[in-house]
Amino acid sequence: MPPIQYTVAVRELCEFAAKQGDLDLRFTPSPTAEEGRAGHKTVASRRGPSHRAEVAVAGAFRELVVRGRADGFDDSKGLLEEVKTHRGDFELIPSNHRALHWAQAKIYGHLVCQQFGLSKLTLSLVYFEIGSECETPLTEHCTADELRQVFDALCMRFLDWAQRQLEHRAARDASLLSLQFPHAAFRTGQRTLAESTFRAATLGRCLLAQAPTGIGKTMATIFPLLKAAPQERLDKIFFLTAKGPGRALALDAIDVLRRSRPSISVRVIELVARETACEHPDKACHGGSCPLAKGFYDKLARARGAAAGLETLTRETLRKVALEHEVCPYYLSQEMVRWADVVVGDYNYYFDSAALLHGMTRASEWRVAVLVDEAHNLVDRARAMYSADLEAHVVRAVFKTAPVALRGPIGKLKRAVDTLAKGQEDAYKAYEEVPQRLTASLKDVSAAVSEHLATGPDAVDPDLLRLYFDVLRFVSLGESFSTHSLFDVSRSSQAGKARRARDATLCIRNVTPAPFLRPRFASAQTVVLFSATLSPHHFYADALGVPDDTAWLEVESPFTPDQLDVRIVSDVSTRFNHRQRSLAKISRLMATHYGSAPGNYLAFFSSFDYAEQAFEEFNRQHPAVPVWCQQRRMDGKERAAFLARFVHDGSGIGFAVLGGAFAEGIDLPGSRLVGAFVATLGLPQVNPVNEEMKRRLDLTAGDGYGYTYLYPGIRKIVQAAGRVIRTSDDRGHLFLIDDRFGRPEVKRLLPAWWRMQTCTSDACRPISPSRTRQPYAASEGDGAAGALQASEVLCSSSTMSFDSVTPSDASSSAPGAKATNSPA
Ligand code: SF4
């Protein structure tokens, strides 16, 4: 059923229709959310008994329903208050911000007049300064008729947009009802994943899905969610990725759907990082500096209208529209999120602490479905999002150049950092809590710099600003500090006390992001997290904090054991102390195997040092074999050159680092890659930080070794090994070189379809070269589009629909899947 009304919050209405003038993102210190809430409470507590706070109001204008909560209303005085908290001089609040605040006050004024049958009202815009707790009230007396006119004018401006949204929504839903799978048939395992995704959406549950590479996971998740969108009244689908290539896959998948069914009406937007979209990286985001910020809101309606005429807004198309209308492409993309049905962007946009998509979802009460691509990356990415550090040398440097007014608090912070660092004998130490003296000095610096910035200084030292942001982050994470995080101090040297104080780094280090991510999962109708490597699933469920009723799906591999010859080489240890001794054996093993089965190979090692040593040893012993080695900090061109050496039917060995750029997310089908040597168990380095994480995870999850070392390590092995077999036509070899691969607890974590044999480095039965060469069938293309086209050839029926799927359980019981409810 298409919606017949469009509901909008007062704030959203005003931000859409009442903003004027320049985009101005000059840094103005604003109160934190906590301070804002406290400020509102303080104001309310100063009012008399007839004052009512947080009054829910709603009204309509044709198809538009406008609703919100007025900050304060006193019936006996006919007084409506709109409270705004700020920091610093009231006069420094930009006039266009004040105009927006007045617009909000007047919209609330109209809704209150209507709701309470008033003919006039006194509006008071109360600015509350956080530091001094002083109020600056601005007052206007308005008749109900005047307020209605403001309401009508803003609604009229919004209505055109809202009506188009409603029309599009009806057309979108009608077109999606007849959406069909774009290929003749599903690939093995693809249907299972698609059905489970559909069921998860219809049941409003989350799904953790492990599905092998090559089954078309992107299409298997986007297609069912689009299919489910009309009946589940989904407003938006967010496709979130860890890296750029994932975004391209999602955009390609929607392109394929459109080409197979031109009548479908789905709007798509790609969000990229500010650094990528910015046209003037040397300028600041305000009208006085950047020409694309000048008059941004005055030009926005036309730019928005032009962008809305397209079906897909990629980085390139958005840029074109934005430049034609002389507005910033990055901020135009944020405005267009409201317009889109599918938003493709980085994890940050939904999971970070101030994430745009999550904020909009909450504010607009959207029903959203979230797809998390390559979800194994989310654990580390989320840990980084909820960690903060503070470097002693930055505090010292800023102290030396700080304005006089800031020297006191920054000096206090410097002393607090010094005391911690000098008093610590060990190079690394974790503390039970963030010391109170440090917390107090951090808060003082935060308040003092805020005051300073609020005076509108002509120029701000970038180092001071950097310290300020570090401090804000530290304070914010310090307030939520708990067993999910560590507070630690590390130093790079054991030198004297003065040196220790200089090179110390203080860190709030998130270990378990679950408490931060839980509300993100709760805000969505469904979240589907998928990857080829999500084992063991309880590790990901615990670390990410997915809801208790999250379903677990393991899609069986479409590949067969005879496609991959897996050898565990049991007489080599790649432990740190044994590496030197391992080089000759590894080199001999590789040469022997390569001699009997030549082709392109990747050889993975635990570090650059180890890879370089192995590369040199091999090159010295076997100079006739073409070899090339990954270098530290390769740029895009160098990475492409490394991969370009893997030509069809070529021969040679590329040495690389496990967990690096060539161990995940690269596609070398057919004879471009016939095997891999993995000379490491992939375990993260044993160091004081990891040992502390292990201790903490022992306490909180009961499996410190698994959660810190084993599971992340084996995941990297499986990802790297996954480069060898990309299609059902591929055949290849995999050598797992370390005695520990033979342990049952390690074997258990390796893919069930691998048939492993154990051998020694000098007795691995040579394999016929003909076996290596013969079965490869060259792929049409290496990228996403190629993979999807290949699927069209494979498929034989295009009539798949989900009509028969019963929403009994989000876990699939279809053949080709193992499904259980997660014990998370
Ligand atoms: S173009 Fe760059 S500097 Fe200008 S407003 Fe956009 S992001 Fe800011």
Structure confidence by residue, pLDDT tens digits, 571-585: 999 999 999 999 999
What CA–CA distance (Å, rounded) separates 349 from 361? 11
Evaluate if residue 820 carries a pLDDT over 50: no
Q: Residue 277 CA: which ligand 1 atom is closest?
A: 7
Q: Which residue from 8, 264, 269 is spatially nearest to 161, judged by alpha carbons?
A: 8
From atom 8 of ligand 1, which residue's Cα is the shortest distance away?
285
Please give the order of strands across the beta sheet that includes 485-490: 388-391, 505-510, 485-490, 428-431
Q: What is the mean pLDDT of residues 2-11?
A: 78
pLDDT at 729: 87
How many A from CA of 295 to the centre of ligand 1?
13
pLDDT in tens, 436-466: 999 999 999 988 888 787 776 767 788 998 9
Q: Which residue from 720, 590, 604 is spatially nearest to 654, judged by alpha carbons?
A: 604
Q: Which two tokens stand for residue 521?
A: 């999962």
Evaluate if residue 780 carries a pLDDT over 80: no
pLDDT at 816: 45
User: Which 8-state DSSP code applies to residue 375?
Assistant: G
Q: Residue 296 CA: which ligand 1 atom is closest?
A: 5
Q: Tell me what percent of the residues of the chain surpass a pLDDT of 70.
A: 90
Residue type, 534: L
**104 and 14 in contact (C-beta within 8 Å)?**
yes
- Residue found by looking up tokens 């934005």 in the block: 322
What CA–CA distance (Å, rounded) separates 670 from 539? 33
pLDDT in tens, 202-219: 999 999 999 988 889 999
- Whole-angstrom CA distances from 564 to 208, 243, 559, 675, 714 are 26, 28, 9, 9, 18
Alpha helices (runs of H) in 32-143, residue ranges in sequence order: 33-45, 95-116
Instruction: Give residues (CB < 6 A) around ligand 1.
Output: 23, 274, 278-280, 283, 285, 290, 292-293, 328, 330-331
From atom 6 of ligand 1, which residue's Cα is the shortest distance away?
328
pLDDT in tens, 381-439: 999 999 999 999 999 999 999 999 899 999 999 999 999 988 888 899 999 999 999 99
Q: Which residue from 23, 99, 16, 15 is spatially nearest to 325, judged by alpha carbons?
A: 23
Point out which residues pair with 447 in neighbouring strands. Answer: none
Instruction: Provide the pLDDT confidence category of residue 126 given band limits of 50, 70 and 90.
Output: very high
What CA–CA distance (Å, rounded) separates 766 from 594? 9
Q: Which residue from 503, 340, 520 is spatially nearest to 427, judged by alpha carbons?
A: 503
Evaluate if residue 636 carries a pLDDT over 90: no
pLDDT at 63: 87
How many A from CA of 329 to the centre of ligand 1?
8
pLDDT at 804: 33
How many A from CA of 339 to the centre of ligand 1?
22
How many A from CA of 608 to the centre of ligand 1?
38
Query: Angle at Cα 87 formed by Cα 84 and Cα 93, nearest 5°?
Result: 65
Question: Dihedral of the CA atoms 311, 313, 316, 322 (nearest 10)?
Answer: 110
pLDDT at 91: 82
Q: Residue 283 CA: which ligand 1 atom is closest?
A: 3
Q: Which two tokens stand for residue 417?
A: 């950092």
Point out which residues pair with 313 in neighbouring strands. Answer: 269
Evaluate if residue 740 carries a pLDDT over 80: yes
Lowest mean pLDDT among 96-105, 402-411, 778-787: 778-787
pLDDT at 44: 93
Q: How many residues appear in the chain?
A: 824
**122 and 83 in contact (C-beta within 8 Å)?**
no
Of residues 686 and 792, which shows the higher confidence score?
686
How many A from CA of 331 to the centre of ligand 1?
8
Q: Is the dihedral of CA 772, 777, 781, 783 positive or negative?
A: negative
Evaluate if residue 773 carries a pLDDT over 70: no
Instruction: Provide the pLDDT confidence category of residue 765 given band limits of 50, 70 and 90.
Output: low
Q: Residue 278 CA: which ligand 1 atom is closest?
A: 2
Residue type, 346: D
Q: Tell me what percent of the residues of the chain surpass a pLDDT of 90.
A: 74
What CA–CA distance (Å, rounded) separates 508 from 386? 8
- Residue found by looking up tokens 């160098």 in the block: 638
What CA–CA distance (Å, rounded) separates 706 from 532? 19
User: Which 8-state DSSP code applies to residue 260?
Assistant: H
Residue type, 321: V
Instruction: Provide the pLDDT confidence category of residue 477 given band limits of 50, 70 and 90.
Output: very high
From atom 5 of ligand 1, which residue's Cα is the shortest distance away?
285
Q: What is the DSSP string of 389-436?
A: EEEHHHHHHHHHH--HHHHHHHHHHHHHHHHHHHT--SSEEEESS--H
pLDDT in tens, 588-631: 999 999 999 999 999 999 999 999 999 999 999 999 999 999 99
Evaluate if residue 809 carries a pLDDT over 60: no
pLDDT at 456: 67
**260 and 163 in contact (C-beta within 8 Å)?**
no
Lowest mean pLDDT among 47-56, 382-391, 805-814: 805-814
Q: What rounded mean pLDDT belongs to the chain?
A: 88
Instruction: Provide the pLDDT confidence category of residue 250 given band limits of 50, 70 and 90.
Output: very high
**725 and 534 in contact (C-beta within 8 Å)?**
no
How many A from CA of 177 to the centre of ligand 1?
40
**658 and 684 in contact (C-beta within 8 Å)?**
no
Question: Dihedral of the CA atoms 448, 454, 457, 462 (nearest 10)?
Answer: 60
What CA–CA distance (Å, rounded) separates 88 from 451? 6
pLDDT at 821: 37
Task: Give burial (CB, 10 Å; 0-12/13-18/19+) of 551.
Answer: buried
pLDDT in tens, 319-368: 999 999 999 999 999 999 999 999 999 999 999 988 999 999 998 889 99
How many A from CA of 289 to the centre of ligand 1?
9
Q: State the number of CA atoms in the 13 A half-sphere of 558 facing the CB.
A: 21
Which residue of 272, 276, 280 sits with most ligand 1 atoms within 8 Å of its CB, as the best mutation to test the pocket? Answer: 280
Query: Angle at Cα 450 formed by Cα 360 and Cα 137, nearest 5°?
Result: 75
What CA–CA distance (Å, rounded) separates 579 from 467? 42
Q: Which residue from 435, 388, 389, 429 is spatially nearest to 415, judged by alpha carbons?
A: 435
Q: Which two tokens stand for residue 756?
A: 């492993």
- Whole-angstrom CA distances from 426 to 93, 415, 423, 436, 496 are 48, 19, 9, 21, 12
Q: Are strands 342-346 and 652-657 parallel, antiparallel or unpaired?
A: unpaired
Q: Residue 279 CA: which ligand 1 atom is closest?
A: 1
Q: Which residue from 549, 559, 553 is spatially nearest to 522, judged by alpha carbons?
A: 549
Q: Which residue from 531, 260, 610 is spatially nearest to 373, judged by alpha carbons?
A: 531
What CA–CA distance (Å, rounded) separates 755 from 563? 10
Evaluate if residue 819 carries a pLDDT over 50: no
What CA–CA distance (Å, rounded) separates 759 from 568? 6
For 647, list phi and psi in degrees, rounded to 5: -90, 160
- Residue found by looking up tokens 């959207």 in the block: 366
CA 541 to chain centre: 17
Which residue of 296, 300, 318, 330 sits with most ligand 1 atoms within 8 Å of its CB, as the best mutation to test the pocket? Answer: 330
Query: Angle at Cα 662 formed by Cα 657 and Cα 664, nearest 5°?
Result: 105
Query: Angle at Cα 435 formed by Cα 433 and Cα 441, nearest 5°?
Result: 140
Evaluate if residue 785 carries a pLDDT over 60: no
Point out which residues pair with 57 in neighbouring strands. Answer: 68
Q: What is the DSSP string of 737-748?
A: ESGGGGSHHHHT
Helix (H) or strand (E) holding 305: helix 296-308
Q: Which residue from 447, 464, 448 is spatially nearest to 401, judged by alpha carbons?
A: 464
Evaluate if residue 776 carries a pLDDT over 50: no
